[in-house]
Structure 1
């Protein structure tokens, strides 16, 4: 590992502009975590004290070898020597602890910042980045930085001091032998430089492969029921095995580079020892150097070699941290939602108007094309049409998950983007087909996102209006029953009623229902529909539904085909005027042929 780092340390000194930029980004990111300067200074000073004490030991040994006998030691000198060793140990230990503490605090600050950033990134970011990769940024990449700061920074500072101090003393003892010794190092650098560059590329590739593998694991394990129901275990095993093989390849490449670096560094160290002992022995024979000075010289050489191990480990980790920083900075610099920018929605009981709205996830592939209609307050608007027509995308535009390419949405006469996202979304209740739930209790799911204290009586009333009170009362722990990950311990109808009760607690002014009953059996649908009727009362409601039976009583129906509004009106009006709607009605409501003929007439 140390030898690996030596190469990377050499490589880092000759890195290109991009590498320097990455390194600068790393140190800028660390500064932004606002470490305690006082604690950092104290930790460094303690490391300096520990290292300086260590530099005295070889000189003491020199005196012993050159005729200073143990008999000459008095009690005071022995106590001083023991105190020096104890002080060195204490200072070193305390310095390492403080640096570890500072590192943990810095990385905790970084993770807090990254987590806060992830929560305010727009939905479009998560459309283009796999969840597992974001998890890897939070855990693996920050873990690399944590290891660097908390485990290797102490060795870096003490190592630098030890090396500089040892070189100064060596030059004082015998400058000629010191100069000869350091001729070997540039020769080693010429060999290690290309190996160091190779190791850096391997480190970055290893992190990318780790993030991809984490993403695969997260996806498969989160949808394990789909995997098993589809007999897809072999397929997913092959996918995971591919990731494991990729990590193995990078590990083997790393081992191959290490296999070259280790022997080379061993040769360099042996050459240094041969030079020092051989040339030093000649100097002792000629009387130019005492035996004690040669022993001290060798001990100081060890004090250079050992810290070099610490430094090389530091630079190895620094290269990995630079790669991790690149990906963290990509996330931190991503454009986020302006969550609190804009004014409050002071009066929500106003018409919602969609004017010439156009949008596509890719600009060259529009999903919505010049969509226009108006929803009066307190009315029900149904959006129907073939699958893939853009109905759910329209809901995403109303929630402001995406910005329109053209057109706008108004509340009254004010564009909805003039309101803060927090204020706008607080007046919207969204009940989807999937009824997403968090791992936790029914109470936690009902109160999720409700920014006020909710009493037991309010919970009971909301559950009663959502027709959820009956099944909740039958559960072992009632409202404190755990629902499992994504609510797997509840049926689809139960999850839907929990979602409706949650929307009731939010008391939204605008209600969006996305296929809220499509996946239910007829009995559950009837109960959920009754709960929805309670929820819709007095609210501006927009409904997506494939089952026309659930929307025939809507105040207006908007028919959307391929992102375009091709019809609008009541159920009866569309039966008379819209051919595809008549086909939908014939298929789903099974209207008698005679009634259809009458409608055509």
Structure 2
């Protein structure tokens, strides 16, 4: 299995690698190790101070309780030992055991000075803990935002290295969903979970240490529910992860459908496909709903289950702690601190469990981003020293192009072009015609190295095109496609996009006049400063074509490639553009792909392609006289109509 299906199958297989993708996501933070260490140190100190706080408050409770007991036993005039012995003599052993663990002095009330000092210490501890938590949070935010910035840069660089074949297979909405929605989801997941997760894990360790220090027995009691919590979290997480993967896959498919229907909304209405489009949207929306519901439901079960286990832990600690106080083994303040620690211990466990759905959703999105980053790239540019010298030695390439036994196939078992040879001299205009699927556009794609030849080679001025850097090769080629492309900005900026250097307004206007675009541009409200969007709203299809042709004029290329460049303009404008193109083509090699044969009658060489091979070659007159395939195409397009235009 090959092609898109194989890619989708591989994607489904990799999408279940939660552990591997999670580790890879964490490695994105590695470049900021120093800041991570600062964050970790601040978090450790913050959690440590916060963990000591309840124990300090427990000491304040002990002071208050001791004061109350001391005041109540003031009338006896006895020492603590005598009071306890008296209680045992009266048969009240339970109360005697409890008071034996209280540091009271009969006759002395509450020492408010000591209580105030303890509370002040607790206040300072909590204040410092909060400040350190703020430092840790700031470091965490900075690390995450830097990592996401690098990830976006990696994705952008990856998109530039991907071959044209990748974008031929992938839907634009799906790619956009990975670049925008999935990266945003990863960013939100890290922002919401990383700092809290580290804080929760450190809190568990710190609180557990304090619990064992106060009472190992109570600590063991508190740990009874931990194995059960771990088992529950693991089972629920394992069941919910596939649903999160499916949720983000469904999101990508829905985005792709919406993007396609929006960009082609006119055709949808023309052919009456609104109901079909709405039905497909409803199906994909329902699929997204089902996947999202299952993912959120399975992960949402975790929090109430963990809350129940937390309450069970609280009850166990309270019961056993009460018995320890009654026996005099622990003070009330220690039990109070322990109950707080029990809550602090259960809370981060619940937080970690509640974050499971966020983490799983984020990792599912990260897997999709990594899948894009792992996509097969185009072969890297080779740059041997001798090629570099040959290219640098010439002041300007002449534009001599040769195809030497070129073969190409999109699929290994389906040949498209076989053993194609062609030589084009500098300044020649080569027209390529033929039925749809004959390989005309493929030939140009090979020249531009959008695809690599599978056999033979293409040379430019005697230098193998495969040995030239793609940017350098393409910088000498001006291309005007049938499908126009504009970006959001002014008309002047769109025309200037074709130049590799800074250009003046005069140069932009000169290029527009050469392309016969100047006239309609000046009729717009702000002329060349008129702002258009990427859909070219406000200008017609033919006017958009003129802007792209002006862009090609400004690029001053060595080789011109015109792929049905005049398909969207009227007949009169087409004639004017042909004259302008003839002027532009002087001294330049030109490749013209045309279905309207009236546009290529003056070409130096006309190639007729069928099934990836050149079946006829010659001038317009020669091919008409031959009465072959070209003559058949020409007669089918009513040659008499061309004569009327002339």
1:77 deviates by 5.0
1:574 deviates by 1.5
Deviations 1:425-473 (A, max 9, x none): 0110111222322222111111114221101121122112111222222
Measured at CA, do residues 262 and 82 of structure 1 come closer, stay the same or move farther in structure 2, by a change above 3 Å?
Answer: closer
Deviations 1:513-562 (A, max 9, x none): 11122333222322322332222222111111122222122111111112
Asked whether 1:64 is paired with 2:105, we answer no
CA distance in 1, matches of 2:584, 2:611: 30
Asked whether 1:492 is paired with 2:538, we answer no
CA distance in 1, matches of 2:372, 2:126: 47
1:377 deviates by 0.7
CA distance in 1, matches of 2:332, 2:640: 111
Match of 1:231 in 2: 272
Moved more, 238-247 or 106-115: 238-247
Measured at CA, do residues 193 and 90 of structure 1 come closer, stay the same or move farther in structure 2, by a change above 3 Å?
Answer: closer
Match of 1:401 in 2: 450
Aligned length: 574
- Given that 2:306 and 2:353 are in contact with CA atoms closer than 8 Å, whether structure 1 keeps it comes out as no
Match of 2:70 in 1: none
1:480 deviates by 0.9
Deviations 1:303-343 (A, max 9, x none): 11222233334544333333233222222233334676435
Match of 1:531 in 2: 580
Match of 1:4 in 2: none
Match of 1:23 in 2: 22
Match of 2:403 in 1: 354
Match for 1:125 among 166, 171, 190? 166
Alignment of 1:359-374 (within 5 A): 359-374=408-423
CA distance in 2, matches of 1:255, 1:17: 18
- Given that 1:40 and 1:99 are in contact with CA atoms closer than 8 Å, whether structure 2 keeps it comes out as yes
Match of 2:8 in 1: none
CA distance in 1, matches of 2:38, 2:530: 51
CA distance in 2, matches of 1:108, 1:41: 20
The secondary structure found in structure 2 opposite 1:486 is: coil
1:392 deviates by 1.1
The secondary structure found in structure 1 opposite 2:412 is: coil
- Given that 1:357 and 1:404 are in contact with CA atoms closer than 8 Å, whether structure 2 keeps it comes out as yes
1:360 deviates by 2.3
Asked whether 1:545 is paired with 2:594, we answer yes
Measured at CA, do residues 421 and 205 of structure 1 come closer, stay the same or move farther in structure 2, by a change above 3 Å?
Answer: same
The secondary structure found in structure 1 opposite 2:403 is: strand
Asked whether 1:180 is paired with 2:221, we answer yes
Asked whether 1:481 is paired with 2:530, we answer yes
Measured at CA, do residues 265 and 393 of structure 1 come closer, stay the same or move farther in structure 2, by a change above 3 Å?
Answer: same
The secondary structure found in structure 1 opposite 2:488 is: coil
Match for 1:384 among 433, 452, 456? 433
- Given that 1:383 and 1:557 are in contact with CA atoms closer than 8 Å, whether structure 2 keeps it comes out as yes
CA distance in 2, matches of 1:192, 1:332: 31
Pairwise CA RMSD: 2.4
Match of 1:204 in 2: 245
CA distance in 2, matches of 1:341, 1:314: 48
Match of 2:520 in 1: 471
Measured at CA, do residues 514 and 537 of structure 1 come closer, stay the same or move farther in structure 2, by a change above 3 Å?
Answer: same
Match of 2:550 in 1: 501
CA distance in 1, matches of 2:113, 2:227: 44
Measured at CA, do residues 517 and 306 of structure 1 come closer, stay the same or move farther in structure 2, by a change above 3 Å?
Answer: same
CA distance in 2, matches of 1:273, 1:65: 20
Asked whether 1:84 is paired with 2:125, we answer yes
Alignment of 1:402-441 (within 5 A): 402-441=451-490
Match of 2:105 in 1: none
- Given that 1:64 and 1:70 are in contact with CA atoms closer than 8 Å, whether structure 2 keeps it comes out as no
- Structure with greater contact order relative to length (CA < 8 Å, sep ≥ 6): 1
Measured at CA, do residues 271 and 28 of structure 1 come closer, stay the same or move farther in structure 2, by a change above 3 Å?
Answer: same
Alignment of 1:279-358 (within 5 A): 279-337=320-378, 341-342=382-383, 343=387, 345=391, 346=394, 347-358=396-407
Asked whether 1:563 is paired with 2:612, we answer yes
- Given that 1:340 and 1:422 are in contact with CA atoms closer than 8 Å, whether structure 2 keeps it comes out as no
- Given that 2:400 and 2:461 are in contact with CA atoms closer than 8 Å, whether structure 1 keeps it comes out as yes
Moved more, 45-54 or 329-338: 329-338
Match for 1:49 among 45, 51, 73? 45
CA distance in 2, matches of 1:286, 1:113: 65
Segments of 5+ residues of structure 2 without an aligned counterpart are 1-14, 65-109, 642-646
CA distance in 1, matches of 2:140, 2:229: 32
Segments of 5+ residues of structure 1 without an aligned counterpart are 1-15, 593-601
CA distance in 1, matches of 2:301, 2:523: 68
1:294 deviates by 1.6
Moved more, 60-69 or 156-165: 60-69
Match for 2:186 among 110, 122, 145? 145
CA distance in 1, matches of 2:162, 2:299: 40
- Given that 1:493 and 1:525 are in contact with CA atoms closer than 8 Å, whether structure 2 keeps it comes out as no
Q: TM-score, with normalisation over the residues of structure 1?
A: 0.89
Measured at CA, do residues 423 and 407 of structure 1 come closer, stay the same or move farther in structure 2, by a change above 3 Å?
Answer: same
CA distance in 1, matches of 2:494, 2:550: 10
- Given that 2:233 and 2:353 are in contact with CA atoms closer than 8 Å, whether structure 1 keeps it comes out as no
CA distance in 1, matches of 2:618, 2:298: 72
- Given that 1:51 and 1:161 are in contact with CA atoms closer than 8 Å, whether structure 2 keeps it comes out as yes
